[in-house]
Every structure is written in structure tokens, then in C-alpha cells.
Amino acid sequence: MSELWQRLMTTPQGALPLGDWVNALIRMLMDHNGGAFDAIGSVVEGLAASVEAMLLALPVWMLMGVFVALGLWRLSWRFAVFVLGAFGLIYVMGFWHQTVSTLALTLSATCLSLLLGVPVGIWCARSNVANVMVRPVLDFMQTMPAFVYLIPAAMFFGLGRVPGILATVVFAIPPAVRLTSLGIRQVNTEQVEAGQAFGCSAWQLLLKVQLPIALPAIMAGVNQTIMMALSMVIIASMVGAGGLGNDVLSSIQRLDVGLGYESGLAVVLLAIVLDRITESFGKGMAARQSRAD
């Protein structure tokens, strides 16, 4: 310690070995908590594998049909036609299998993000201390370059889907936390008082008043989480997460502009479909609430 102090005093530039400390921390975590990481890893792998197996088990026409039907129900017949065209194009370009893998990765990462993010968001809404502590962490998670998460994730969990999904979860949690917390805090005081005045317990207040009224905001958070997750699972191909990201990555490695364009287009089409459909859920609820306040 005194050596560090001396260097800081004499030649301060580059004297602080923060990176070394982080390396030491990671090594220590790996040495002492290997069992915990293995357990987490196998749970995540189990989830991701079963989501992917489920999606791939469906015949192509049925999976496409589900999305077309969702588009028809939530938006319009025009959007349903667009969904059919978009997925048809992906299929004929030969990217269907990769797209389904990417969809599975995105859905798995989104599920985990919401499973962790929504309770933290509820906690932040109920406690100012929690809010003050969590907010800078979220800012850090969101602004840290996404690639940086891949390295420790790969060290802890090896290459493959698991580090990709977990790095994605870190990147995609913030909107889930933020919008859940915001939604609950925005519930009108008199609505909360009404819940209490009619004898709600703390749980009843949360489940019957606060969460339902916050649902449009939470759905906006779900939408953003899905979008963040989709962008991150592409990057996560660098640690072998698979899916469309592999094609994007190999197009870069081989300087194959055509492949890059095709795989990129598949990502964009998938993003549009997911975005519009999840957005419509939040909007429908918001319209119902806007005039009731």
C-alpha cells in the first residue's frame, strides 16, 4: 500500500492498477465460488435450452402463424401481412433457424431480466434508500460498454449460450427496474389511499392497486428490455451465444458485406415484429387509464 502511495505521489500517471484489482477479484470469485457459478450456469442453460427446443419443435408455419395472429389481434391486418412477409423473407434467405435461436436467447434473457428487475423495481418504489442505492448501479450497468460484460461472463461460465444470456441480462435489466419503479411511484396518492381506506393489507395494495395501475409503465419496460436484449444477444455471439449474431460476426471476419446485410436485415425484421407487438400491450392499457385519473 505504501508503495502505491509513493508512486501516486511521484509519478501519478498510470500509477493506479484498478484493472489488476478487478482481475484479482474475478480470480478470487472463480477460485472460491466455482460451485455457485456452475449452479447458476446449469439453471440458465436449462432454461435457454428448453425455450429453444420448444420453439424449434413447433413446425415453421405454426410459429409464424402465432406471430401473424398476434399482429392481427394487437395491431391490424396490415401489420399481420407485414409479419408474414418479414418472416417469409427470413425463411427464404435461409436464416430461419438462426432467427429462432436468437428469439429463444432474447426470450430467455428477457424472462430472467424481468424476474430479477421487476422485484427490484418494486423495492425501489417502496424505499427511497433502495432507490438512491440502485440508481447509480443501473446507470453503471447501462453505460458500461456492452462488450466488457462478455469477458468476465465467459470466464465464469465458459463459452456458449450461458455467458451470452447473463451478459445480456445485466445489460437489459435497467429499463425493467426503472419503469417498474416509475410506474408504481406514479400511482395517484388518492388511489393508494383508496386501497388503504378499504382495508388493503400491504400485499393487497401492491397486487390489487399499485401493480395493475403501473402495468402500462411496466409493459413499456418489458418492451425496452426485449429490445435491449435483442441487441445484446447479437453482440453475445462473440462468446459463442449463437443465433443470428454468428452470421453477423462471420460476415465481419470474412468481410462478406452480403452476408452481413442479410443477417442484419433478419435482426431488424425480428426487432420490428417484437417491438410493435409488445408495445401494443402497454398502449392498450395506457389508453384505458389515461382518462380515468
For the segment 272-291, give every residue that binds another protein (CB under 8 A).
285, 288-291
Pairwise CA distance, residues 222 & 228, whole Å:
10
* Phi, psi at 151, each rounded to 5°: -65, -55
Find the part of the chain contacting another protein (CB under 8 A) among 43-51, 146-154, 208-216, 233-241.
Answer: 208-216
Q: Does 212 bind another protein (CB under 8 A)?
A: yes
Q: In which residue are the cell numbers 435450452 written?
A: 49
Candidate residues 208, 259, 271, 275; the one interacting with another protein per rule CB under 8 A: 208
Find the part of the chain contacting another protein (CB under 8 A) among 7-15, 29-37, 156-164, 190-198.
Answer: 190-198
Q: In which residue are the cell numbers 445489460 written?
A: 171
Q: Does 209 bind another protein (CB under 8 A)?
A: yes
Grid coordinates given for 136: 447509480
Q: Does 203 bind another protein (CB under 8 A)?
A: no
Grid coordinates given for 64: 409464424
Pairwise CA distance, residues 278 & 281, whole Å:
5
Find the part of the chain contacting another protein (CB under 8 A) among 119-127, 155-163, 204-212, 242-250.
Answer: 204-212
Q: Which residues lie below 8 Å from residue 184, measured CB to CB, with a gap of 6+?
A: 121, 122, 125, 126, 210, 211, 214
* Phi, psi at 221, each rounded to 5°: -65, -40
Which is closer to another protein, CB of 48 or CB of 125? 125
Q: Does 30 bind another protein (CB under 8 A)?
A: no
**Residues forming the site for another protein (CB under 8 A):** 188, 190-191, 193-201, 204, 208-209, 212-213, 215, 285, 288-293
